[in-house]
Structure 1
Amino acid sequence: MIVFVYIKEDDTKQKKGKLNFLSCTFVESSRTADYQTTTGLRAIIANNGNEDDIFAFLSDHKIPGDDVTLMNMAHEILKSPPKIGYLTISNALQWRLQYSRIVALDETVDGITPIVKYNAKN
């Protein structure tokens, strides 16, 4: 996934548009999960959580799926914990992604490669 942050300017008289790229970052698929969900799951596992704990977490966070699906997910998560994701995902009405965590990221994270770094002074 590539995350772009830009400002678009339209010139209706000349029928032209201009994109000013402020930030561009490549995010490997292993880092595209929700930050709060993945940190929460990893905290449960670090605290010796079991499949039932993970199932309850998934249910409480309204992760889509029936009980069988969520229990299968809990089993897989416990067997292979996810890497920390760096997106913010809202599943209210429709799934929406927010990228501010990636744009504001200062430290180096495996799987996240800045191409053009955002500068607040621009």
Structure 2
Amino acid sequence: MTKLTTHVLDVYSGKPGKGIKVDLFFINGEKKEKINTLILNNDGRTDKPLVEKDKFISGKYELIFYIGDYFNKIIETKDPPFLDEVIVRFGISNNQESYHVPLLVSPWSYSTYRGS
């Protein structure tokens, strides 16, 4: 079964990004279509794939991680925070493979990659 998954690691505290809201969009030209909204579980992961099976198509996608809200709950942040929403745009060239998009994040930096 092919699918798209994600997880977040809070490198500031060394813990999973528990409770972070994540939106997934499919980008079709100038239009963005929201596919899913999920809240990350205690392991900083989703309980089910963001998208899978016949709904998982090749094309451009966008993930929005609402990390400003997350960090504001665990530390005192400035207003506005340095990072509020982390937006990751990526392409799916082969929907016969599964894709995993992890996010490593702190209040001041982030990194992502294609995971397995």
Normalising by structure 2, we get a TM-score of: 0.25
Normalising by structure 1, we get a TM-score of: 0.24
User: Which is helix-richer, 1 or 2?
Assistant: 1
User: Which is strand-richer, 1 or 2?
Assistant: 2
Larger Rg: 1
